[in-house]
Amino acid sequence: MENDSKALLEIRGLAKSFPGVKALQGVDFTVRRGEVHALMGENGAGKSTLIKVLTGVYPRDAGIVRLEGTEIRPTSPKSAEALGISTVYQEVNLIPQLSVAENICLGRQPTRLGLIRWGAMARHAEAALARLDLKLDVKQQLSACSIAIQQMVAIARALDVSAKLLILDEPTSSLDENEVEELFKIIRKLRAEGLGIVIVTHFLDQVYAIADRITVLRDGQLVGEYEAAKLPRMDLVTRMIGKELSQLAPKQTTESVEASAPKREPFVEFRQCGRTGSIAPMDLTIGKGEILGLAGLLGSGRTETARLMFGIDKIQTGEMFVDGKSAAFKSPGEAIRAGFAFTPENRKSDGIIPHLSIRENIVLALQARQGVAKAISRKQQDEIVDKFIKVLGISTPGPEQLVMNLSGGNQQKVLLARWLATQPRLLILDEPTRGIDVGAKAEILKLVQSLGKDGVSILFISSELEEVVRYSERVVVLRDRAKVGELTGSQITEEGIMHTIAAPQSK
Amino acid sequence: MSTAATTTPAPSGRFQKREIRWWSSLLWPVAGLALLLIFNAFFTPNFFHLEVRDGRLYGVLVDILNHGSKVMLLALGMALVIATAGVDLSVGAVMAIAGAVAAQLINKAGVPFPVVIGATLGVAVLAGCWNGLLVGLFKVQPIVATLILMVAGRGVAQLITDGQIITFDDARLTYIGNGSFVGLPFPVWLSMGMLAVTVVLTRKTAVGLFIESVGDNQTASTYSGIRAGQVKFLVYAFSGLCAGLAGLVAASNIKCADSNHAGLFLELDAILAVVIGGTSLTGGRFFLVGSIVGALFIQTLTTTMYMRNVSADVAPVPKALAILIVCVLQSPTARKKMTGFFRRRNAS
Amino acid sequence: MRTYSKYIPLFATGLVLLSLYLVGCISFKGFGSLRAFVDLFGDNSFLGIAAVGATFVILSGGIDLSVGSVVAFTSILIASLVGHGFSPLTAIGIALLAGTVFGTFMGFLISVFEMPPFLVTLAGMFLARGLGFMVNPQSLAITHPFFLERVANGLSIPLNDRISIPFTATCYVVTFIIALIVAHYTRFGRTIYAVGGDEHSAALMGLPVGRTKILIYTLSGFCSALAGVVFTFYTQSGDPAVCVGLELQAIAAVVIGGTLLSGGVGFMAGTAMGVLILGLIQNILNFKGNVSSWWTPIIVGFLILVFILLQNAVVLVSKRFGGKLGAAG
């Protein structure tokens, strides 16, 4: 790519690694003045790392970052701000307890003789908001505003630092349609003023609604930069997921799938189950012993569906049936007693108990279901644990090893063991193969398949379409927090899933 | 978000790779205690002198065990509370309440002794339940929740005793704090007995596992079906029971209920004992024997200074230094900075 | 209403203060007198000043348990220095400096080593108490004319021929006004609120979080030391054993004053009202005479409970509202 005269930000050959992971390798990225540039990619693509390098949270290992032609090397969010790079995060990073005006001016309040001039500050904040065509009572507490307004206040703050480049990291995740439209109006206005805007979002419709250009990353590498108008949806999806249509493996049909698919008795049924701000009401059935795949891009509502089913979030609309009987779980504990099990997507924060041993982690759920009084004897514990260490091939010097010291793959196996020990009837697997090595991945997938054969129902959530296709009997496809399709039998191909994801909104 | 962002730098090797068994955690507190004892062996005359009089063992070491028993009792309950990432500031005040109840009831004619003890411990457990309710159900921060009883508790104790210092001379009640059994003071047996009970209660049932898992990762524990609120309620109730026993010993020691001074600031000693014992204030693994050793360390420190004619008033200084040293040893940041392992983690 | 829900606890505090005062005035002769009113400020001056420091700490989401010990340490240090022939002003200067440095030290440990404030200031509490006894193991009367004449009489402001505002009260009111300005009219003050509200966000917003935290404990150390100075004015003596548990009273005043113990929300004026409420409760019980002293901690504990539950309710309601608006479909 030659030097673009309109280029505001130029990144060439950016590299960043963490111990064991090459997060970014030789990535080029260019943002021009007056354009909205979408940064796309699935988990592990390197979007977050790129943004964090750009805003000075991480130092870069190699590569050139130029802003308006001069090389920059921000060392903190503050120094990035001073250079003209401002970021607004999804989880609005402001102080909810303070007023709108303060949040816009914090750290830069107008003062006289060291004392803050509240009146001037309010006027300043009003002016900053006026630039976004926003009129608010700036004296009200930020927490009293809707998330959308808070987001806009964050943008106002970012612009107030005389931003040249505005980075919006998943700004629309918590907004409803009208609010998104409001936000986009503001983004278009800023684009017209000549700002460069980088937007990270998982909503395909929104990308096409707002972005001029799209840069796709995958596994820390640049896939390409495209003009949004000239990139068909299908191409975008394939580039993000990393499969060209021509190289897709032909669908592997196994007789058992074909034969048994229609005959299954339903175990769990969603009838128009949904939750505001989480997932739109949907129907979903998992048969006994069925492996149901849940496919969709990042942020499409996969995890939200799992949380709803497992009783972490309450179902607000519709009704859930288990074994034909209505069930409304108020806590995961109730779901567990109904025979449910759930390995969460975020192993570290929601799954493992890091400072406890493998043994304790494995018996935890079984013990919780049995209650405090009925302690599992040490002998039984050792038997259970030894069995699972062997069956699952958990590589560890011994069962008393702390879980935090295991590799990701082995941690995941420990979590699986925790649930298999409870002999679950439904296993919800949220990204069970994320971030683990190839060997462990294959073992876990083999296990999933054999569990299905043993009559355990499985809700299989994965961003690896190949896995979903290979192991699922049926696939429910989600997009933008709603169910958009259901594939069975020979429809289950990577191409089929991608078409369903990419299909233009039917509404 | 991305795998890269959530990948943390590898743990710093040797230190964390080691399997942690319960006795390995005893290394530091025992080493500290041993250091103190060795110092005394050389510099404090008569420190290790023991003699038997009237079938009862006398000596400085016995005194340490005897005087340390109140903090040992408190530390048992406190260890469990701290393991759930909480803290119980009210134990000193609960001790005062327990002493007051016991003294009032024992002086009433016709109240059988078991009823006195039962009522005393019952009231203490009730006080603990109150804390547990605030923390477990209403989700008030532990410091704040237990501060309420810490402030109000002494008032309640005085209310019970009508502001008087109530003396008593019932032989059974005074035995708790002053009697001896098989050569050792009864409080020593009591605290050892409670240690055994607590160990059995937590390690032979699933209670200990639940406490540690809630303190270490509450979200993951909830997802595994544990009711975090109930677990928390339970540990505060138990801490109340321990405070009740300590209150009985304290009152019995001096044969009176002194609501103003009973257990004053012992909550801080108990917290210190637990922290010295290796339990982290951020919750997770708890070490009961370690907490007992921690309590003994504090008592030995106090006794040492007393025997070396250091004024009791200056005694807080070495205690403070002990806290700071333990703090530094426990602080991951300080460790990192000291080992030059300085890589700030800013992953989302 | 919802927008200003954070003022509800403050409003409640004001209501409690007013009703206590009215109850006192109606029930007892002389309760509402000018003298009693002036004394209310004088008698609670060192508690008030200590509570100012505690407010800053709690606003930032921290806690300072060393307050009472530092007050005692400062008082005995001044008494001892003056006894050794130092001029009163030098002694006061040294004592203020010592308390401030002590606070800085604790702030440094908390900020740089990320140690829990609870433990660090607990150590500080023991340390200052012990150091006080090392300076002088007994209480020490101050006989220097500066304390006896100048402070006690010369610096008080006469209101009429019988009543004058004691210098201790003046010290408190001035400290309070300065604190009010610092909290609400300086960038430092607003940064304290931001750090207490959300430390992570505050750092991302480019605010100097680490520096602010050190400064907060420095400020609290200074306030404790100043409270110690005022204590020597008040009692004309130094005593290493006094003010045990003053930190609890200070925290109680802060909580009753409507400040959220988790940080980020609160008011300097609320703390002042909290201090006066504690003072009024004491006064009412004193006036009543036959009421036992133990009702004070019980009532204070009850007030803390009420205010914490009130705050929890307010936070819950505003969260529910915020959430609903945010997720409205």
CB-based contacts of C26, cutoff 8 Å, min separation 6: none
What is the pLDDT, as a whole number, of residue B44? 82
How many Cα atoms within 13 Å fall on the side-chain side of residue C92? 15
pLDDT tops 50 at residue A254: no
Chain A / chain B CB contacts < 8 angstroms: 139
Q: Using alpha carbons, select from A379, A381, A399, A380 the residue that is nearest to residue A389.
A: A399
- Selected residue of B89, B143, B148, B160 to mutate for chain C interface (largest C Cβ count, 10 A): B148
Average pLDDT over residues C149-170: 82
Q: Interface partners of C (3+ CB pairs, < 8 Å)?
A: A, B
Query: Of the given ranges (A298-302, B22-26, B59-63, C209-213), which has the lowest mean pLDDT?
Result: B22-26
Torsion sign (Cα): A47, A53, A172, A185? negative
Q: Interface partners of A (3+ CB pairs, < 8 Å)?
A: B, C
Residues A21, B221: C-beta atoms closer than 8 Å: no
What is the pLDDT, as a whole number, of residue C320? 58
Per-residue pLDDT reduced to its tens digit, A328-382: 899 999 999 999 999 998 888 899 999 999 999 999 999 999 888 888 888 999 9
User: Which class for A404: exposed (0-12), middle (13-18), buried (19 or more C-beta within 10 A)?
Assistant: middle
Q: Given the structure tokens 């409670």, which residue do they identify?
A: B194
Cβ-nearest to A355 among B225, B285, B348: B285
Give phi and psi for C233, each to the nearest 5. Answer: -65, -40
Cβ-nearest to A78 among C4, C196, C206: C206
Per-residue pLDDT reduced to its tens digit, A422-461: 999 999 999 888 777 777 888 888 888 888 888 899 999 9
Per-residue pLDDT reduced to its tens digit, A2-27: 445 578 999 999 999 887 678 899 89
pLDDT tops 80 at residue A257: no
Which DSSP string do the residues of C256-284 spell out, in sequence order? HTT--TTSS---HHHHHHHHHHHHHHHHH
Chain A / chain C CB contacts < 8 angstroms: 104
Which DSSP string do the residues of C17-80 spell out, in sequence order? HHHHHHHHHHHSTTTTSHHHHHHHHHHTHHHHHHHHHHHHHHHTT-----HHHHHHHHHHHHHH
What is the pLDDT, as a whole number, of residue B17? 37
What is the pLDDT, as a whole number, of residue A115? 92
* Spatial distance between the Cα atoms of C60 and C58, rounded to a whole number of angstroms: 5
Query: Of the given ranges (A79-83, A259-263, C158-162, C217-221), which has the lowest mean pLDDT?
Result: A259-263
Query: Of the given ranges (A77-91, A158-172, B205-219, C315-329), which has the lowest mean pLDDT?
Result: C315-329
What tokens does A300 get? 């499409």
What tokens does B34 get? 């041993």
Grade residue B281 by pLDDT with cuts at 50, 70 and 90. confident
Average pLDDT over residues B107-112: 88
What is the pLDDT, as a whole number, of residue C4? 63
pLDDT tops 50 at residue B2: no
CB of B319 less than 8 A from some CB of C: yes
Per-residue pLDDT reduced to its tens digit, C6-25: 778 888 899 999 999 999 99
What is the pLDDT, as a whole number, of residue B321? 86
* Spatial distance between the Cα atoms of A500 and B186, rounded to a whole number of angstroms: 76
Residues A400, B19: C-beta atoms closer than 8 Å: yes
What is the pLDDT, as a whole number, of residue B9? 39
What is the pLDDT, as a whole number, of residue B4? 39
What is the pLDDT, as a whole number, of residue A236? 86
Cβ-nearest to A44 among B4, B210, B213: B4
B337 sits in the region (left: phi over 0; alpha: psi -120 to 50; else beta) called alpha
Element (H, E) at B218: helix B218-223
pLDDT tops 70 at residue C325: no
C246, C79 contact by CB (below 8 A): no
- The mean pLDDT of chain A is 86
Query: Of the given ranges (B40-54, B292-306, C191-205), which has the lowest mean pLDDT?
Result: B40-54
What is the pLDDT, as a whole number, of residue B340? 54
* Spatial distance between the Cα atoms of B69 and B249, rounded to a whole number of angstroms: 8
Per-residue pLDDT reduced to its tens digit, A59-113: 899 999 999 989 999 988 888 888 999 888 877 789 988 999 999 999 889 999 8
Q: Using alpha carbons, select from A10, A14, A28 the residue that is nearest to residue A69.
A: A10
Residues B320, C126: C-beta atoms closer than 8 Å: yes
Query: Of the given ranges (A176-180, B90-94, C129-133), which has the lowest mean pLDDT?
Result: A176-180
Give phi and psi for A432, each to the nearest 5. Answer: -70, -15
Per-residue pLDDT reduced to its tens digit, B310-342: 877 887 888 888 878 877 776 777 767 666 544
Per-residue pLDDT reduced to its tens digit, C35-89: 888 889 989 999 999 999 999 999 999 999 999 999 999 999 999 999 999 999 9
The CA distances from residue A454 to A396, A420, A447, C231, in Å, are 27, 12, 10, 77
Per-residue pLDDT reduced to its tens digit, A118-155: 999 999 999 999 988 888 889 888 888 888 888 889 99
Residues A93, C186: C-beta atoms closer than 8 Å: no
Q: Given the structure tokens 């700004």, which residue do they identify?
A: A171
- Selected residue of B88, B134, B147 to mutate for chain C interface (largest C Cβ count, 10 A): B147
∠ Cα A471 A475 A479 (to 5°) = 130
* Spatial distance between the Cα atoms of A311 and A285, rounded to a whole number of angstroms: 17
Residues C261, B337: C-beta atoms closer than 8 Å: no
> Hey, is A233 helix, strand or coil?
helix
The pLDDT > 70 percentage for chain C reads 94
Grade residue B22 by pLDDT with cuts at 50, 70 and 90. low
Distance (Å) from the C-alpha of residue C313 to the closest C-alpha of chain A?
15
For residue A75, list chain C residues with Cβ-Cβ distance below 8 A: none
What is the pLDDT, as a whole number, of residue A243? 63
> Hey, is C292 helix, strand or coil?
coil
What is the pLDDT, as a whole number, of residue A419? 95
∠ Cα A467 A473 A478 (to 5°) = 70
SS3 annotation, A50-107? HHHHHCCCCCCCEEEEEECCEECCCCCHHHHHHHCEEEECCCCCCCCCCEHHHHHHCC
Strands A35-40, A196-200: parallel, antiparallel or unpaired by DSSP? parallel
Which of A108-112, A237-241, B302-306, C213-217 has the largest mean confidence? C213-217
What residues of chain B, 159 to 218, have a C-beta less than 8 Å from chain C?
159, 162-163
pLDDT tops 70 at residue B21: no
Q: Using alpha carbons, select from C313, C320, C324, C323 the residue that is nearest to residue C6.
A: C313
C95, C74 contact by CB (below 8 A): yes
> Hey, is B75 helix, strand or coil?
helix
Grade residue B23 by pLDDT with cuts at 50, 70 and 90. low
Nearest CA in chain A to C187: A107
What residues of chain C, 64 to 103, have a C-beta less than 8 Å from chain B?
none
What residues of chain B, 92 to 131, have a C-beta less than 8 Å from chain C?
none
A68, A233 contact by CB (below 8 A): no
Q: In chain C, which ranges are continuous DSSP H helix?
A: 8-27, 34-43, 45-59, 67-83, 88-112, 117-135, 145, 167-185, 187-197, 199-204, 209-235, 246-256, 268-288, 295-327
What is the pLDDT, as a whole number, of residue B320? 85
pLDDT tops 50 at residue A258: no
Q: Using alpha carbons, select from B6, C320, B211 the residue that is nearest to residue A20.
A: B6
User: What is the pTM assigned to this prediction?
Assistant: 0.84
What residues of chain B, 22 to 81, have a C-beta less than 8 Å from chain C?
none
CB of A325 less than 8 A from some CB of B: no
